[in-house]
Structure 1
Amino acid sequence: MRRSAAAVGSSLFLALAPGTVAVLVPWWLTGWRAGDWWPTLRGLGIVPLVAGAVVLLSTFVRFVVEGLGTPAPVAPTEHLVVGGLYRHVRNPMYVAIVAVIAGQALLLARPLLFVPRLRPWREPE
């Protein structure tokens, strides 16, 4: 697979899989409305959010550059990806997604994102 095709495939997979889990579902549950928590605690949410996003993007880049493929099962890599964070963690994408969602939960002051229920959180009126 050529790098350009791998980059396009990885970008599509990034938008579909992690994009759904780390962006669409939290938006559906919270509507990006912030709750009322101590501002410093909410501000700490930036750290895992940004760190998780950086790790997630770097793993997708590694699939294109090192593996010549995508993380999607329909277009697997030609070479096993073993560099970068893959030397230390079996699947850094999962760790990154959890960090992004935890960061959103802190930033938005929404414990619902830590432990989702079947229906969205309802604020007392």
Structure 2
Amino acid sequence: MVPITFGILVPSTIVWRSQDAAFWQDTKPGHTVLKIFGAIFWIIGASVLFASNVSFHKQGRGTLEPWARPKHLVTTGLYRYVRNSMYLGVFTMLLGELLFFNNKNLLLYLLFFMVAQSINVPLHEERVLRKSFGPEFEEYCKHVPRWIPRLHPYTPRKGTN
């Protein structure tokens, strides 16, 4: 529910409530191209979010919700390349919405969301994961970057997962 809230509901509210909804008018050249790129980015981001959730359910045997956290550390699917694929999916969706709607308030929201998660993830989420999965999570962190995906998939050593 959290990714849908921050990736769809909040941005929709921002667009609907904006008095100055666009950086430029629809009649300017290139606007249609930006809408197309925005839609493509949004679809990619939503796909990343969906694929990440599938891994959470299949390998982790849990959900994003605090009351049903994964029982196993998720290191499959997109998590083999980057530790925070769900957030990257939301970032990409927000970039798509920014391009599609040309809304300066969405730019501010995207920047705020990125900064907030850059603080939240290491200070809160990773602390919870360290407490839950200990050395297994530490080993995973050594090999899989937080934000920038690695080129080759991570494969845990036998006995660590």
- Max radius of gyration: which structure? 2
Output the aligned Cα RMSD: 1.8
CA distance in 1: counterparts of 2:17 and 2:32, whole angstroms: 16
Confirm whether residue 23 of structure 1 aligns to residue 8 of structure 2: yes
* 1:49 aligned residue: 42
Amino acid at match of 1:94: Y
CA distance in 1: counterparts of 2:83 and 2:57, whole angstroms: 18
* 1:76 aligned residue: 69
Moved over 2 A (4+): 32-37
Per-residue CA deviation, residues 21-78 of structure 1 (Å, 9 max, x unaligned), is 1111111111198632521122210121000000101111111111111122221212
> Which among 86, 97, 107 is matched to residue 93 of structure 1?
86
Amino acid at match of 1:83: T
* 1:4 aligned residue: none
Higher RCO structure (Cα 8 Å, ≥6 apart):
1
How many residue pairs match? The answer is 101
Gaps in structure 2 of 5+ consecutive residues: 110-161
Gaps in structure 1 of 5+ consecutive residues: 1-15, 117-125
Q: How does the TM-score come out when normalised to structure 2?
A: 0.57
> Which among 54, 78, 97 is matched to residue 61 of structure 1?
54
Per-residue CA deviation, residues 57-116 of structure 1 (Å, 9 max, x unaligned), is 111111111111112222121221101111111110111001001101111111321113
Any conservation in 2 of the 1:32–1:108 contact (CA below 8 Å)?
no
Q: How does the TM-score come out when normalised to structure 1?
A: 0.73
* 1:108 aligned residue: 101
Percent identity (aligned): 34
Higher helix share: 2
